[in-house]
Chains A and B, each alone.
Chain A
Amino acid sequence: MSTSAPRREWPGASLARVPYWVYQDDANYRDELRRIFEGPVWNYVALESDLIRSGDYRTTFVGEMPVIVVRGETGAIHAFENRCAHRGALIALDDGGSTGKRFQCVYHAWSYDLEGSLVSVAFEKGANGKGGMPASFCKAEHAPRRLRTATLGGLVFATLSPTAPPFDAYLGEAVRARLLRVLNRPVEVLGRFVQALPNNWKLYVENVKDTYHASLLHTFFSTFRITRLTQGGGVLVSPDGAHHASATIDRGEDRDSTAYRDQGIRSESPRLRLTDPSLLDTVNEFSDDIQLQILTVFPSLVVQQVYNALAIRQVIPKGPDAMELHWTYLGFADDSPEMRRRRLRQANLVGPAGYVSMEDGCVGGFVQRGVAAAGDTLSVVNMGGEGAESQDTRATEAAVRGFWKAYRGYMGY
Chain B
Amino acid sequence: MLDRVSQLNAEYARAIDDDRLEDWPDFFTDPCLYSITSADNHRRGMPAGVIYADSRGMLKDRVAALREASVFERQTYRHVVGLPALLGAREGATRAETPFLVVRVMRDGTMGLFATGRYVDALVEEAGALRFRERVVVCDSSRIDTLLAIPL
List residues of chain A with CB under 8 Å of any chain B CB. Answer: 95, 189-198, 217, 219-220, 223, 269, 271-276, 278-279, 324, 329, 340-341, 343-345, 347-348, 351-355, 358-359, 361-363, 365
Contacts and interface: CB of A to CB of B under 8 A. Distances in A.
Interface residues of B, number: 36
Nearest to A221: B69
A223 B69 contact: yes
Nearest to B52: A344
B48 A358 contact: no
A217 B71 contact: yes
Contact of B148 (A95, A190, A198, A352): A352
CB-CB nearest 7 A-B residue pairs:
A191-B48, A276-B57, A219-B69, A275-B57, A190-B48, A353-B148, A361-B147
B49 interface: yes
Interface of B: 36-38, 40-41, 46-55, 57-58, 60-62, 64-65, 68-73, 142-149
Contacts of B58: 275-276, 278-279, 345, 348
A95 B60 CA distance: 36
B69 A353 contact: no
Given A274-B64, A352-B50, 6 more contacts: A193-B38, A223-B69, A272-B69, A344-B48, A359-B147, A361-B147
Nearest to A223: B69
| Chain A contact residues: helix, strand, loop or mixed | mixed
Contacts of A219: 65, 68-71
A271 B61 CA distance: 12
B46 A193 contact: no
A359 B38 contact: no
Contact of A353 (B47, B73, B147): B147
A344 B146 contact: no
Given A347-B52, A348-B52, A362-B73, A191 B37 contact: yes
B146 A198 contact: yes
B64 to A, nearest CB: 6
Contacts of A220: 65, 69-70
In this complex, which of B48, B55, B65, B73 has the most chain A Cβ atoms within 10 angstroms of its Cβ?
Answer: B48
Given A195-B146, A348-B52, A353-B51, A272 B70 contact: no
Contacts of A278: 55, 58
Nearest to B37: A191
Contacts of A193: 38, 41, 50, 142-144
B134 to A, nearest CB: 14
A352 B52 CA distance: 12
A361 B143 CA distance: 13
Contacts of A197: 146
A193 B73 CA distance: 21
B50 A351 contact: yes
Contact of B41 (A191, A341, A353): A191
B120 to A, nearest CB: 16
Contacts of B143: 193-196, 324
A347 B143 CA distance: 17
Nearest to A197: B146
Contacts of B46: 189-192
A192 B147 CA distance: 15
29 contacts: A190-B47, A191-B38, A191-B47, A191-B49, A192-B38, A193-B144, A195-B146, A195-B147, A196-B145, A217-B71, A219-B65, A220-B70, A269-B68, A269-B69, A273-B64, A274-B57, A276-B55, A276-B61, A340-B47, A343-B48, A345-B58, A347-B49, A348-B52, A348-B58, A352-B146, A353-B36, A353-B51, A353-B147, A353-B149
A358 B142 contact: no
Contact of B54 (A345, A358, A361): A345
B152 to A, nearest CB: 10
A352 B61 CA distance: 17
Nearest to A222: B69
A307 B64 CA distance: 21
Contact of B72 (A95, A192, A279, A358): A358
A353 B34 CA distance: 13
A294 B131 CA distance: 40
A358 B147 contact: yes
Contacts of B38: 191-193
A352 B48 contact: no
B72 A362 contact: yes
A191 B48 CA distance: 5
Nearest to B36: A353
Nearest to B31: A276
Contacts of B73: 362
B60 A275 contact: yes
B144 A279 contact: no
